Structure 1
């Protein structure tokens, strides 16, 4: 089987509305029959059988009538796609990439926090010979797919009938939505149709901790953690560690986090993010502390985690966001990395909490010098790749992207803070007019999955 990326064009044929024109050069490359009269063209789940005429052309060319492209649910031609032969009289064009996420249309069309990222994905697809569209769970219909594709001439997203996807990237941000019947319907039908999709699902903090703590070589990098199940859990952890975080197991962007410090004479200092209402900063007894926390802790699951005394930069705490992407069936790479500095009066280094970012190399070099900085960068990258490889094997499902959050203590030792299956796209903003490395890596992985179908 041969394959080639070509620009598929259109032509008019009033007498033969389903006529297809193919260059002899492409016909020869694909190894099609020398007696080819009709051609089967497959795109997504759609197949059109049409008369074919071989033409003299120096390029590898395929030209379709409007009727054929309409039957295949393609956007207005021309479009650059890969073409491959399935047999002596059949070809497939693609890949068709679907991004499933929440879509907002009340005031203006918007894909939430990944809106700009989706535009970058589309730009890179156009250059790479793929067709990408965005759809929501409510738009999904296995027999009549609708989606939004980016029109590069008008710079607008257009809603249209689209081919069934060859690969789906899951960027749903609501855990509730991801557990809904409509999401189960989508994933069940993708599995039934043997359509690969990633990232499979959210992994909560406790699930990630359990997976990583089962690997002996990663235990030294994990802060002591336990699930908050009882009042006694909290009291024991405070007695043992004196300084702990209380984190929602399904939290993100540094929201809803408490920090509790047990002082001498058993008094307690409390700090927190994004909680409203009257919560004191200091409590003389554990009972009073727990009474204040309980109304907020009972709403969702929380994780208790020991506080490590982390290195600071210009009197601000910092951590590192390392974006990792899968290259093929088993190999991962680091696509980008940044240092995130906490905002003023914040104990969480997160851009959504008023923090700022800088180049990882710059921060480490300023703190440790060039030689030690190089050593630490290599260590952080190696550790990140170890983490994602372990999770990918143990978690089940298909994952193609992870955001790994690491930090250094005052002795320069790395600690694993968090691992995200759907990392924020506001923390690796591209240079103007550029497609960021994480967008390229997503499309590269989609095309790899497509090649395995």
Structure 2
């Protein structure tokens, strides 16, 4: 079905409550008969039948009475939306995309956490494509009537919004994603046959198990096992003299320990974000375990061998490949960057003070121009193989992954982490540029919206 971008305006004084006026040019493009007196209009899951008249205007214009706009849950001001004639009898506006995340109101306005600036890019791209985009939360959702925030004249406006044709899940809290409120919202969305992604957080152990089933990916996985007791810690330190201890549900490099066994059988401990006094050197394993044990009871942890990865300017280095789904079968690499840690940090996460560098220049400096080209291609192919494997076996619908990879001095790649909801940096371009990841997310939303007839 072809669509047109329709310039929509509210009618202040309509002869009837359910009234619309359509330009002759739009009527011709939609192939509507001249003698048509009523038209069914839909937006999201809402429909209204209204009286229609055609006016001689040379643009794709549609003016709707306030009553019609209210019944379609659209704002009472001018906007541009795609319009498609369905089954030669209903004008469908939209599609409507809803992004589910946490919403916080402050004195300066509304905030959407770490993805606030990214949401502006999503909204800007949707405006250009004639798509109605809004943000909603677990508290603003109601199966009968949703309150959401849409961008209008560079400000987020709160309003009743149409039920979405597709939902992008960006809830940032694992705890909130397990709440009754979240499960109720998702249950409603499924019951209404609305597609949604990214399904849920995946924990590190779950991802490791999926990837370790692939014979091709095994060589790129560090040795890992669940922390269950002192004996599991002792075993890992016997096999590997240098290990990471990571929370399986952790993110942004938080709450990670690193333990090294020295030649004199003392243990060195380093960590990212823990409050309270904790020693950094222990004369035996029992003393190390006694210090770690209370902290390892706060959730489940993964024990993982430390791979001696190549560094950049004597700092920890890894590579973030952002991958997006194009359709049900194809993924693409949308962007790739090198991440370099802050001095004396053993993780390169930006939340821990890391910095972004161009991947091409970093690899060229470390491995030479010709080898760097080969490595970039190899890392991209490995990222795609990882996302294909995880999305196939994890269950649920995923449309975006952030893949963190490292390289050892010989150029052998290692899988560090797989993120289902990768962090979004503020756009440092200070321009109206919409980055490829924002375009890819919306394009996948548009693909999914076709599933329920939009």
Does the TM-score normalized on the shorter chain lie above 0.5? yes
Q: Is contact 2:117-2:426 (8 Å) kept?
A: no
Q: Is contact 2:195-2:451 (8 Å) kept?
A: no
Structure 1 equivalent of residue 46 of structure 2: 46
CA distance in structure 1 between the partners assigned to 2:271 and 2:281 by the alignment: 12
The residue correspondences of 1:15-54 to structure 2 (distance < 5 A) are 15-32=15-32, 36-54=36-54
Q: Is contact 2:117-2:427 (8 Å) kept?
A: no
CA distance in structure 2 between the partners assigned to 1:430 and 1:438 by the alignment: 15
- 4+ aligned runs moved over 6 Å, structure 1: none
CA distance in structure 2 between the partners assigned to 1:265 and 1:331 by the alignment: 52
Deviation digits for residues 95-142 of structure 1 (CA, Å, limit 9, x no counterpart): 111111111124442111111111111111111111111111011001
Structure 1 equivalent of residue 301 of structure 2: 302
Report the CA distance between 1:81 and its aligned residue: 1.4
Structure 2 equivalent of residue 121 of structure 1: 122
Q: Is contact 1:32-1:87 (8 Å) kept?
A: no
Give the secondary-structure state (helix, strand or coil) at the position aligned to 1:316: coil
Deviation digits for residues 293-337 of structure 1 (CA, Å, limit 9, x no counterpart): 001001110001110001011111100111111111211111111
Structure 2 equivalent of residue 14 of structure 1: 14
Report the CA distance between 1:437 and its aligned residue: 1.4
The residue correspondences of 1:300-339 to structure 2 (distance < 5 A) are 300-339=299-338
The residue correspondences of 1:61-100 to structure 2 (distance < 5 A) are 61-100=61-100
Report the CA distance between 1:430 and its aligned residue: 4.6
Structure 2 equivalent of residue 256 of structure 1: 255
CA distance in structure 1 between the partners assigned to 2:228 and 2:430 by the alignment: 45
Report the CA distance between 1:63 and its aligned residue: 2.2
Structure 2 equivalent of residue 147 of structure 1: 148
Task: Select between 234-243 and 58-67 the one with higher mean Cα deviation.
Answer: 58-67
CA distance in structure 2 between the partners assigned to 1:34 and 1:266 by the alignment: 90
Report the CA distance between 1:5 and its aligned residue: 2.6
CA distance in structure 1 between the partners assigned to 2:235 and 2:440 by the alignment: 44
**Structure 2 length normalisation: TM-score?**
0.96
Give the secondary-structure state (helix, strand or coil) at the position aligned to 2:105: coil
Task: Select between 232-241 and 32-41 the one with higher mean Cα deviation.
Answer: 32-41
Deviation digits for residues 410-438 of structure 1 (CA, Å, limit 9, x no counterpart): 11111000010110102775553321211
Q: Is contact 1:38-1:89 (8 Å) kept?
A: no
**Structure 1 length normalisation: TM-score?**
0.96
Give the secondary-structure state (helix, strand or coil) at the position aligned to 1:264: coil
Deviation digits for residues 16-40 of structure 1 (CA, Å, limit 9, x no counterpart): 2322122344334434456532111
Quote the RMSD (CA, aligned, Å).
1.6
Task: Select between 419-428 and 52-61 the one with higher mean Cα deviation.
Answer: 52-61
Report the CA distance between 1:392 and its aligned residue: 0.9
Task: Select between 325-334 and 16-25 the one with higher mean Cα deviation.
Answer: 16-25
Q: Is contact 2:14-2:65 (8 Å) kept?
A: no
The residue correspondences of 1:226-375 to structure 2 (distance < 5 A) are 226-375=225-374
1:185 aligns with 2:184: yes
Task: Select between 341-350 and 13-22 the one with higher mean Cα deviation.
Answer: 13-22
Q: Is contact 2:39-2:51 (8 Å) kept?
A: yes
Task: Select between 191-200 and 19-28 the one with higher mean Cα deviation.
Answer: 19-28
Q: Which runs of 5+ in 1 are unaligned?
A: none
Give the secondary-structure state (helix, strand or coil) at the position aligned to 1:313: coil
Give the secondary-structure state (helix, strand or coil) at the position aligned to 2:396: coil
Deviation digits for residues 56-108 of structure 1 (CA, Å, limit 9, x no counterpart): 44433322122211221112332221111222321211111111111112444
Q: Is contact 1:36-1:89 (8 Å) kept?
A: no
Distance 1:10 1:427, change over 3 A: closer
Structure 2 equivalent of residue 160 of structure 1: 159
Distance 1:294 1:107, change over 3 A: farther
Distance 1:320 1:428, change over 3 A: farther
Structure 2 equivalent of residue 407 of structure 1: 406
CA distance in structure 2 between the partners assigned to 1:398 and 1:37 by the alignment: 43
Deviation digits for residues 343-379 of structure 1 (CA, Å, limit 9, x no counterpart): 1111111111112111111111111221111101101
Q: Is contact 2:256-2:271 (8 Å) kept?
A: yes
Q: Is contact 1:32-1:85 (8 Å) kept?
A: no
CA distance in structure 2 between the partners assigned to 1:361 and 1:428 by the alignment: 20
Report the CA distance between 1:10 and its aligned residue: 3.0
Report the CA distance between 1:15 and its aligned residue: 2.0
Give the secondary-structure state (helix, strand or coil) at the position aligned to 1:203: coil
Q: Is contact 1:13-1:19 (8 Å) kept?
A: no
Give the secondary-structure state (helix, strand or coil) at the position aligned to 2:219: helix
1:173 aligns with 2:157: no
Give the secondary-structure state (helix, strand or coil) at the position aligned to 1:251: coil
CA distance in structure 1 between the partners assigned to 2:180 and 2:32 by the alignment: 44
Aligned length: 451
